[in-house]
Structure 1
Amino acid sequence: MQTLAIVGASLAGLSAARAARAQGFTGQLVIIGDEPHRPYDRPPLSKDFLLGTVTADDLFLEADADELGAEWVLGSAAASLDAASRTIRLKDGRTVQADGIVISTGASARKLPTLAGLSNVFTLRTLADAQSLAPELVPGSRMAVIGAGFIGAEVASAAASRGMEVTMIDTKPVPFAAQLGTEMGGVVAGLHAANGVELISSAVIEDFYSSEGNVTGIRLAGGRYVPADVVVVGIGAEPNTGWLEGSGLELRGGVLCDAMGRTNVPGIVAVGDCAAWFDESAGAHRRIEHWTGALERAALAVEALLDADAAPKPARPHYFWSDQYGVKLQFAGHSAGYDRLEIEAGDALTHSCLAVYYRGDIPVAVLGMNQPRLFTKWRRSLAAWIPAPAQPPAAVPPPGRAAKQAACSDASALAGAAVVG
């Protein structure tokens, strides 16, 4: 392999570049990004950045020790991929050809088409989003957050701490239930109530009111009217895979990969928010949209890319964290299908506790609220219950015609330096 192209200048993309060099890749390394920025840290965008305790310069991820020797192609998104020739076409017309490709194009915030073009409506996914939203956190103003996921909850926490009047509107009966289960989801909902944020659950939005290009209020089913000076839409994200349509890669809610990040096309792997890796414990593909997944899985995918015979390795338990109202929430594992919840330490009502989720007698997930030491011990022990990967790694559907052509193509036709022009 002479040339490696990484599509996506994100944490996952940077981690893949570092892993490639650490694993001995000495060829040409090309990193493509749609934003003009080099990779930066996203989790602080909804926390410290909004509160002004960190600046944009504090977010950039490259360290002085990084000597990647990479060619950076920034400011233009990937438009299409020819998997057979491993040629990436950018929206500005440039092309990049490589022997191996890492796809790390991430995800984009879902938007409400009804609110398109209104100046006081925001999503939060990028540095530019956060830079636009931060000046709107004005004491005494009214914020409506649509969607009670973790991004929406963190924005609500930051806004409330700034003295805003905050209302969260959610379609689900209990927020965070998909990640934390109904019982602990209710505990986190109580955290918002304790800090003056109103949560309207099982809500149906019937209409929006606007004036002079701004939303002024939201009408809910039943007649409730929620006034708003600022609206934040936090209803999840969609994987950035549209540019891969027709490429020959298998796509279903993300780029389908095996348990090491291999796609159905040889020489192409995927990592980060756009990738749906096969999860041995669930027997299904999962798309993990969290920082640690982007950081840790990149090395596995690069190993599989550089060594076709690389043995599958168990992934660490799924992990994420959130900071809300001074409470640090940490979660590891998957709560889906749990049948018993035990509070192992502390008191959930005081928002300082450790809860363990069981399926039968097997622990499948753990949640810590202001319990970092005990959580860390449980997170380590949780790894012992992860089943060993199958041999050989299973998960990817049979390749389509394009993948078969790629597998059978003459390697010499793919060799050579990346072409940018």
Structure 2
Amino acid sequence: MAIVGASLAGTRAAETLRREGFDGTITIVGDEPHQPYDRPPLSKQVLAGDWEPDRIELSDEESLGDLNADWRLGRRAVGLDVADRTVTLDDGVTVTADGILIATGARCRELPTGGLEGIHTLRGLDDCLAIRAEFDATPQRVAVVGAGFIGAEVAATARSRGLEVTVIEALPVPLGRILGTEMGTVCAEVHRDHGVDLRLGVGVDGFDGHGRVERVNLSDGTAVDADVVVVGIGVIPNTEWLEGSGLTLDNGVVCDETCLAAPGIAAAGDVARWPNALFGETMRVEHWDNAIAQGHHAVLRLAGAEASADAEPYTPVPWFWSDQYDRKIQLAGRARPDDEVRIITGSTAERRFAALYGRAGRLVGVLGFNRPRHVMKYRNLIEQGTSFDEAIRIAEQE
């Protein structure tokens, strides 16, 4: 087996193979020099300086040794021969395998910086440490471009360090395309509660400075002074190396309902796009929980590729969390801005509540602010295909 991507999905897939008794060769290719690590703490505990990098390693040395894998770290895959199941690396070496798992993740979208220092994105460990070093230099002003979950977490971490923070978001409310206006407004108010200057409904025209960023120019003609800028405007799946391979590439590696992209080739994690029959849509999910579950499912699909008629579809309820200040925000399901939304416990005023999302008569999502029990309960109901009315009745009986 060859696993391209020494990521959460790739590492957990390798562990699955050994746990299930696979005793063949496992080759793991990763473009970073680091051993596999957990990414969620990068925007929180590691960036805050509360944790050091060794705290986020996915496995200890003994566990990594038990994998008995051939690690190719600091190497990028640059090509794939689907027919021969051969991966070409950037040093010219080729890896041939019976099964290949693509788990190359995604990279940050960037803005033109004009060569100015002090402008960062946050995806990997080295990014995190570079931003942390900037924060340690005691900048007075931090600008975060993008109020998605990564941007919001960076803003919360910077405020926890006592830094002055401005968040710039092109949408009228943060996360409006996912959570809708009402819930997106609550996310905005959480940051205002903690002294963040929110600039909503405005884009970035560029950056000014002398060698180093000094201000962010906005599309409304105003400017934000900044010593450090963190850009969090989404990600792009890492599929360029697969162009010309014959795989279908469309906002990720397009797979069938079992995560197979071609005979003997599967994909998992941020890079995979597949039809999820539970929601009746083709999706690509960038969540920690999905990386683990899909890596497990996809590699077992490869291991049992001959029994394709019996292969189980991958039909998860996507779920993730975001820690911001003293709030744990959790979302399960597939919420849309035009869904019906009903608060079933707590209130938005106290920033502690659970809300259900309904669409076409069905429960499709649950959002919780410091309500983990409710999120897990209604996540299970989403998986069971519960109607929206029935979910509301269950909530009223609590």
Q: Which amino acid aligns with 2:131?
A: L
- How far the C-alpha of 1:29 sits from its partner, in A, is 0.7
Q: Secondary structure at the match of 2:349?
A: helix
- How far the C-alpha of 1:385 sits from its partner, in A, is 1.2
Which residues of structure 1 form unaligned runs of 5+?
Answer: 388-421
Alpha-carbon contact 1:338-1:357 (below 8 Å) kept: no
**Matched residues in 1 for 2:218 and 2:72: separation?**
46
Identity of aligned residues (%): 47
1:103 maps to 2:102:
yes
* TM alignment of 1:122-201, pairs within 5 A: 122-138=120-136, 139=138, 141-201=140-200
CA displacement, residues 240-299 of structure 1 (integer Å, 9 cap, x when unaligned): 100000011110010001122100x20000001111121214433211011001011112
CA displacement, residues 14-70 of structure 1 (integer Å, 9 cap, x when unaligned): 011011122232111111111111110000000010111111001110144452111
1:230 maps to 2:228:
yes
- CA gap of 1:53–1:207, structure 2 versus 1, over 3 A, is closer
1:214 maps to 2:212:
yes
- Which residue matches 1:365? 365
- How far the C-alpha of 1:317 sits from its partner, in A, is 0.6
**Matched residues in 2 for 1:170 and 1:339: separation?**
22
- CA gap of 1:166–1:355, structure 2 versus 1, over 3 A, is same
Alpha-carbon contact 2:181-2:337 (below 8 Å) kept: no
**Count of aligned pairs between the two proteins:** 381
* TM alignment of 1:9-408, pairs within 5 A: 9-63=6-60, 64-65=62-63, 67-112=66-111, 114-115=112-113, 117-138=115-136, 139=138, 141-211=140-210, 213-263=211-261, 265-308=262-305, 309=307, 310-336=310-336, 339-385=339-385
Q: Which amino acid aligns with 1:321?
A: W
Q: Which amino acid aligns with 1:384?
A: Q
CA displacement, residues 152-201 of structure 1 (integer Å, 9 cap, x when unaligned): 11000000111111111111111111222221111111101111001111
Q: Secondary structure at the match of 1:331?
A: strand
- How far the C-alpha of 1:380 sits from its partner, in A, is 2.0
Alpha-carbon contact 1:261-1:301 (below 8 Å) kept: yes
Q: Secondary structure at the match of 2:26?
A: strand
Range moving further from structure 2, 97-106 or 179-188: 179-188
- CA gap of 1:140–1:99, structure 2 versus 1, over 3 A, is closer
Alpha-carbon contact 2:118-2:213 (below 8 Å) kept: yes
- How far the C-alpha of 1:386 sits from its partner, in A, is 8.2
- CA gap of 1:47–1:142, structure 2 versus 1, over 3 A, is same
Which residues of structure 2 form unaligned runs of 5+?
Answer: 388-398
Q: Which amino acid aligns with 1:345?
A: T
Q: Secondary structure at the match of 1:378?
A: helix
With the length of structure 2 as denominator, give the TM-score of the two structures. Answer: 0.92
**Matched residues in 1 for 2:314 and 2:266: separation?**
17
Alpha-carbon contact 2:179-2:337 (below 8 Å) kept: no
Q: Secondary structure at the match of 2:355?
A: strand
**Matched residues in 2 for 1:221 and 1:377: separation?**
43
**Matched residues in 1 for 2:357 and 2:12: separation?**
31
Q: Secondary structure at the match of 1:299?
A: helix
- How far the C-alpha of 1:210 sits from its partner, in A, is 1.3
RMSD across aligned C-alpha pairs, in angstroms? 1.7
**Matched residues in 2 for 1:242 and 1:14: separation?**
22
**Matched residues in 1 for 2:373 and 2:204: separation?**
42
**Matched residues in 2 for 1:244 and 1:360: separation?**
38
